A and B are shown apart, each in its own frame.
Chain A
Amino acid sequence: MEKRGQPLLQMAKIEKNFGATRALVEANIELFPGDVHTLLGENGSGKSTLVKILGGVHQPDSGKILLDGADLTLRSPRGASHYGIETVFQEVLTASHQSVLQNIWLGSDGIFRRRFKTATQRQQATEVLERLLGDAQLDVPAAELSLSARQAVSIARSLVRRPRVLILDEATAALDVQTRDRLFNEIRRLTAQGSAVLFISHRMDEVAEISDRVTVLRSGQTISTVTRETMTISGLIQDMTGSKVSPEESFKPPREPGKVVLQARDIQLAEQATKINVDIRAGEIIGLCGLEGHGQDLFIRRLSGFAGGPGSVSRLEVEQNNSATPVGRRNAAGLGVAYLPRERRGESLFEQMSIQENFVLPTMRQDKIGPFLSRKRMAARFREYIQSLSIKLGSPDDSITTLSGGNQQKVLLARWLATEPSVLLLNDPTRGVDISTKLEIYRTLQDLALQGTAIVVLSSEVDEIVQLTDRALVFRDKTVFAELAGKDLHQQSIVTAYFGQEMEVQYE
């Protein structure tokens, strides 16, 4: 690689906390003119936070951003744009009732002042769109375009402003293959003019094709930066997962899966996605994982009956001659299928209620004496779970909001355990939960599995999948990309599958 001059843009020792969550601990990145620089990392590694800081959405707690060696403070996307930093955000951002032309020039004007004549706008928009899409329909509302074309419009919005630094945060995810190839040509044109591109993608093939440099981020820290010549996919994956943590302490006692209790047939999570067939057996723990938004979340909601769609989910009951009953939102609880949603706030907790009231809701019927509820019985039932899950609380009558996140989660777990489910579906159960509580929850789940409960855990943490589950379904592009079990279930294999690669290299 030829010798480099001064970096165009530097981010040094960037730190950012959201409440107690440390999103970025020490992130460093240098973008050189003419380079496509890829940022890689797992879920929660801090990629998006770093991008949003550079795009002006978030402000760092500490650290420096230098453009041409001069200090830079970015207060808003508008401010970033002023310095020639343009971001295409992960979500496809278009105003659906506005025309394509208006969308492309959205935000380039002042509040009142138009910066460009309509003729200029039309001409430049046509040029850019033709290069990205092959044709340019400027006057239709954005809502009438396909998802891929809308994403192209939001990319065009950045391109017409002739950025010095272009940030593409998963911008290729929604693009069809042709448009993506055309985008890559645009990227090359742009870098040939001396601009820099910060590229984020979950597709390893794209990363390999376009990157001049790759920086790997892990737990909010820059781990490594490699050049095109020295990068290998296996090396990058090792950097992303951390190489020291190998087949580690396992929580898995040996156990024999029993009969099939929940059967998913021909589940399709998106149009044209491959259908999914899964049998879930009594006494096994199944992990669902993948990069954000690849279908695992929808799949667990399909299993719970909370979401509908093509395909069927049936509950098989051994006691009743293996009769198969379709699972729906209304009958899930009756069939012994319990679902713990992802968002504690909003989806699970009743924040105005006490701890005990939060616990008792689906099982209140058990405390009935005649038409009245016995608070004594309620308290007695709850006490059992306080003990078995070691929930730390002042009084059961305190507000649920007095508890820590981990203890709230235990109360919610207790709520569903009290229904004595045969199938327990957990959507990211240890998110925002401290490490010791996490381990306690793992133990509880292992005990339940030993007693014959079928457990499905969706997790955004690779470690959790490895430590807790018997087999893992890795989701990619709205379907199951790989099923990993036994010796094949470890961090590297999971992350390799995240990025759509087959496991070729054996890691020692």
Chain B
Amino acid sequence: MNRIFAFLQQRPYAFALLLCIVLLALNIIVSPSFANPTRWPAILGTFAPFALVGFASTPSVLSGGMDISVGPLTTFISVIFIAVLMPAGLGSWYFSVPILLILATIVGMINGILVAVVRLHPVVATVGMLFILIGLSQTIAPNPVQAADRWSAGLARTLGFIPGALLTIGAAALIWFLLRRTAFVSNLLATGDSDQSAFGSGVNVTAVRILAYGLGGLFAGIGGIALAALLQSSESALATTYALLGLAAVVLGGTSLLGGRGSMLGTLFGAFAIYLIQQLLTAGGVQSNLIQFAYGIVLVVGVLVSATLLSARQRGKVQ
């Protein structure tokens, strides 16, 4: 038992992992069908947008900043996909996917330039971008538009034998995994940890920051495709729902808002915990407005628990 505790203390995402296990068990108790493998593709399909918004928020936080606009960017991309590209005849995957991902990356990099070059405060830059994206989404598709091309539906259910959501989450995870094998993630963590040290040692801090926000944009783009796959219609009104969930997943996953410390795996657990809360409360027949209340409680309590009970190592170091 002590060994398990020690293991958990060394993992910043320990609380999110424990929470996931507990919530998963509760979900199975409340609705036993949750454990039925035939439901898993659909479950993953509804989870994918959460996970990807969380992924999208992670690189900027690791770099010592913050991107609040990734949620609306996800909705914006799904709106562009369904309400612009499909009617224009560009809905097939080989046209739409590259266009959407490039667009999303550019939006992210604009945030990065505003922060790293123009030197706006990250909250100012990305809240500005948040409103711009919400406004654009609602202008482009004031009312929900149904998807004309249906190929993407498989991404939220199954493609052949595999759950389609594994492709979207998996694509983002693979990109991160590959980046970890390059010098980029080390440079990113060092920049977030101490930008002075990184700059003084010859890291191109400006480029690293811009790329971090760009990478967040790319993940948000994948999230937008996953969202369109799930809904099969453009729901610009969703923008506000996702706006802060990503950040909540990051924080719950044990990533430090000060930058330089955290992991994508933690964000995945954080996002899954949030998703499971939602599922549990919905299955238990709780009103939807109370779900947000529950998010808030879990987030605050979760961060407190991680910072006190589970971080003996950190405290020992200070003394």
Contacts and interface: CB of A to CB of B under 8 A. Distances in A.
Interface string B204-245: 100110010000000000000000000000000000000000
Residue among B199, B200, B201, B208 with most chain A CB within 10 A: B201
A338 B257 CA distance: 38
B261 A97 contact: yes
A214 to B, nearest CB: 26
A297 B261 CA distance: 32
A111 B183 contact: yes
Contact of B190 (A55, A57, A102, A110): A102
A113 B200 contact: no
A57 B229 CA distance: 49
Given A95-B194, A97-B189, A112 B183 contact: yes
Contacts of B317: 143-144
B187 A98 contact: no
Nearest to B194: A95
Contacts, number: 84
Contacts of A38: none
Given A98-B189, A111-B208, A93 B197 contact: yes
B193 interface: yes
A385 B189 CA distance: 53
B205 to A, nearest CB: 9
B200 A111 contact: no
Interface string A36-48: 0000000000000
B191 to A, nearest CB: 8
B204 A94 contact: no
Contacts of B186: 98, 102, 106, 109
B184 interface: yes
A78 B204 contact: yes
Contact of B197 (A106, A109, A144): A106
> Mostly helix, strand, loop or mixed at chain B's interface?
helix
B36 to A, nearest CB: 42
A114 B199 contact: no
Interface in B270-317: 317
B97 interface: no
A232 interface: no
Contacts of B203: 78, 106-107
Contacts of A95: 189-190, 193-194, 197-198, 260
A109 B186 CA distance: 10
Nearest to B182: A112
A79 to B, nearest CB: 8
B200 to A, nearest CB: 5
B196 interface: yes
Nearest to A157: B201
A103 B201 CA distance: 9
Contacts of A111: 183-184, 187, 204, 207-208, 211
Interface in A86-131: 87, 89, 91, 93-98, 102-103, 106-114
A221 to B, nearest CB: 27
Interface in A297-352: none
Contact of B182 (A87, A103, A114): A114
Interface string B152-182: 0000000000000000000000000001001
B32 interface: no
Residue among B182, B197, B203 with most chain A CB within 10 A: B197
Contact of B202 (A103, A108, A113, A154): A108
A102 B183 CA distance: 10
Nearest to B190: A95
A89 B186 CA distance: 21
Interface string A259-290: 00000000000000000000000000000000
Contacts of B179: 112
A57 B198 CA distance: 12
A7 interface: no
Contacts of B193: 95-98
B202 A81 contact: yes
B113 to A, nearest CB: 16
A77 B204 contact: no
A76 interface: yes
Given A111-B187, A111-B207, A78 B194 contact: no
B196 A91 contact: yes
Nearest to B199: A77
A107 B201 contact: yes
A96 B64 CA distance: 14
Nearest to B179: A112
Contacts of B184: 111-112
B209 to A, nearest CB: 11
A113 B184 CA distance: 8
Nearest to A116: B183
Contacts of A154: 197
Given A111-B184, A111-B187, A112-B183, A106 B198 contact: yes
A102 to B, nearest CB: 6
Nearest to B313: A144
Interface string A67-79: 0000000001110
A107 B208 CA distance: 11
Contacts of B198: 95, 106-107
Contact of B200 (A87, A102, A108): A87
A95 B189 CA distance: 8
Residue among A55, A76, A96, A111 with most chain B CB within 10 A: A111
Contacts of A109: 183, 186-187
B141 to A, nearest CB: 37
A110 B211 CA distance: 13
Nearest to B258: A97
Contact of A107 (B202, B207, B261): B202
Contacts of A113: 182-183
Interface in A20-70: 55, 57
A76 B260 CA distance: 22
Contacts of B208: 111
A96 B190 CA distance: 9
Contact of A110 (B183, B196, B200, B261): B183
A98 B201 contact: no
Contacts of B207: 111
A110 B208 CA distance: 10
A293 to B, nearest CB: 17
A97 B198 CA distance: 13
Contacts of A93: 194, 196-197, 200-201
Nearest to B314: A143
A110 B201 CA distance: 12
B183 A114 contact: yes
B183 A77 contact: no
Contacts of A76: 199, 202, 204
A98 to B, nearest CB: 6
A108 B208 CA distance: 14
B85 to A, nearest CB: 30
Q: A-B pairs with the 3 shortest C-beta distances?
A: A107-B201, A107-B202, A109-B183
Given A107-B200, A108-B201, 7 more contacts: A76-B204, A78-B202, A91-B196, A95-B193, A95-B194, A107-B198, A110-B183
Interface of A: 55, 57, 76-78, 81, 87, 89, 91, 93-98, 102-103, 106-114, 143-144, 154, 157
6 contacts: A57-B200, A95-B198, A96-B194, A97-B193, A106-B186, A113-B183
